[in-house]
Every structure is written in C-alpha cells, then in structure tokens.
Amino acid sequence: MTDHTLLPEETRQLIEEFVAALWLEEGLAHNTQIAYRTDLRLAAVQLARTEGVSLLSAGPEQLLRLLGARLGDGQSPRSVARLRSALKRFYAWLHRQQRIAQDPTTGLVAPRLPRALPGALSESDVERLLLAPDVTEPLGLRDRAMLELLYATGLRVSELIGLSFGQINLVQGVVRVTGKGNKERLVPVGDEALAWLGQYLQLARPVLLKRRESPLVFVTERGDGMTRQAFWYVIKRHAASAGLPRLPSPHTLRHAFATHLLNHGADLRVLQMLLGHSDLSTTQIYTHVATARLKALHAKHHPRG
C-alpha cells in the first residue's frame, strides 16, 4: 500500500482543513472522517508518484486514471466508489473556497457496483421454517400464518405487518397491497397460506385481542400491530428452533418466493408484477437463477447437453 507518511506537510494540512470543515458543516461521522482522510492522503501520494502532480493541481484525466489504477490493483468497486466520493467532496470544497478555478471531478464516473443477489433459503429450509411454530398456541398459529403468507406472496415485511382486513379477499384468494411509490398491486395467495390465515383469524386472533378491536390482520398479545423488529425476532427464533444453518433476515422469505418461482418456470415480467418492482432492472438481480434453470433444462433435454 502507498505510504502516506511521504505526504508533503502542506497537503496534509489541506486535507485536515477539509475534514474539519465537513465535521463543522455536516457533523460528519468519525469513521467517515477517518476514511476520507486516509483515502485523500493515499490518493495524493499516488498522484505524485504516477502522475507527477499534487492533489491540488490534479486534472480530470489524472483522477480518472487514479480510480482505474485502484480497480486494476484489485480494490473492490465499493472502495473505489468511496474514494471517488471523497475526491468529489474535497474538490467541491476547494472550489467553494476559491482555491481552484474548476472542479476536476465534474462528470467523474463512479465504478459500477455489482448487485448481489440476496441469500435465499432452499425449499427444504423454507419447509422446516414453516413447520417450526407451535400451532397449538395462539402466537404460534399467528406466526405460522404470517410465515405462510409471506412465502406465498413475496410481500415486503412492512406490507405484511401493515395488512388490514380491507386488503384481503379470502374468497378470491388475493391481497391488495400498496407498495413503494404508492403503487397498488394484487397478489394471489395459495390455498395453503389461505388455510392457515383462516385458522389464525378464526382461532388465534380473537384470543390475542381479548375483545379489543384492531384494523390490522396480525396483532400481538397486547392487541397492537407488529413492528419490523418484532417480526425479525419471530423469524430468528423459529429459524433457530428449526436448526437452519444460517439465520434468515425478514426479507429472506421474499427472496425465496422469487427464487423458487423462477426455478419452477415463472418469468421475470410476472415476478416483477408480483414483487411490486417499478423497474424490471430491479427484478433482474434474479436473472442468474433463471439462467441456471435454463442451463439445467438444456443439459437434461438436448441430445448433446
């Protein structure tokens, strides 16, 4: 790694002044201050060595080569993106201070961050999770209904815990959800989830409410709605009792819903509608699942597969 102890004192002082200004103006977090200071010091030394310019006099092409060299050295796109952010804020500050005539980072493109597919449970893991709650108890029956509905519909956790009776049609087997961007969608519910939801509404919910009233479908023992944190605890507890190899997040069943649908033949457009994604590009994080399925089908059915 480049030794930032070789940094000229005037450059070091300039960076310190910038970091102090950010702290005063924006209350920059301590860890971010450290990261920006380190990034700028190392960038200054590298620019001096490879480009023969100071941090103060570097131009757009030199900064672009600096970012490219960092990627070429094997640094993660996220680390390089953080460096770009530090450089942009540093030069914007210099420009406001009238220490440079032009900001060299205008139009400086960030390295593209790869979009990681969230981890999804296998179908057998989901089955173990769904079987974990003790359905002889009201809370266990509620938890089973929530988990079944989440896996059957791919709802966001916020959508699940906020469900009201006006959003559920048990006869038609659909839920009406208003998701991000205030966009409404109808999501079908499978027979299994409908059966558990019906049992919960008939047997468990009245016991939990104790003659209180609530517009929400899923309630706690106090008769209140559930929070995201409370539902995360529910999932974590049942996953541990089911002996799952890793604890799922509240979003894991949504990702399992998407992955398993693709594995069984759904296409991305259908998945986009069910998940409530406004842009197909958001759904395309699951493309590699569909590709893997196509490869498996090709290998199985093609004469030279």
Catalytic residue check, 300: no
Last residue of a domain, one of 48, 77, 96: 96
Catalytic residue check, 112: no
Catalytic residue check, 286: yes
One domain, residues 89 and 153? no
One domain, residues 166 and 80? no
The residue from 37, 82, 95, 251 that is catalytic is 251
Per-residue pLDDT tens, the chain, 305 aa: give them: 444 556 788 889 999 999 998 887 777 677 888 888 999 999 999 999 889 999 889 998 899 888 888 877 777 777 888 888 899 999 999 999 899 999 999 877 655 555 555 556 788 999 999 999 999 999 999 999 999 999 999 888 889 999 999 999 999 999 998 877 677 888 899 999 999 999 999 999 999 999 899 999 999 999 999 998 899 889 999 999 999 877 777 678 888 887 787 777 776 676 777 777 655 555 555 665 555 555 665 577 667 65
One domain, residues 75 and 208? no
Instruction: Kindly report the pTM of this predicted structure.
Output: 0.57
Please name the amino acid found at residue 286. Answer: Y
| Distance between first and last Cα of the chain | 47
Catalytic residue check, 180: yes
CATH of the domain at 234: 1.10.443.10
Last residue of a domain, one of 61, 96, 131: 96
Q: Which tokens belong to 257?
A: 């819903």
Q: In the chain, how many domains are there?
A: 2
What is the CA angle 186-289-176, rounded to 5?
Answer: 10
- Comparing C-alpha atoms, which of 269, 251, 276 is closest to residue 185? 276
Catalytic residue check, 251: yes
CATH of the domain at 23: 1.10.150.130
Identify the sign of the CA torsion 223, 226, 229, 235: positive
One domain, residues 63 and 177? no
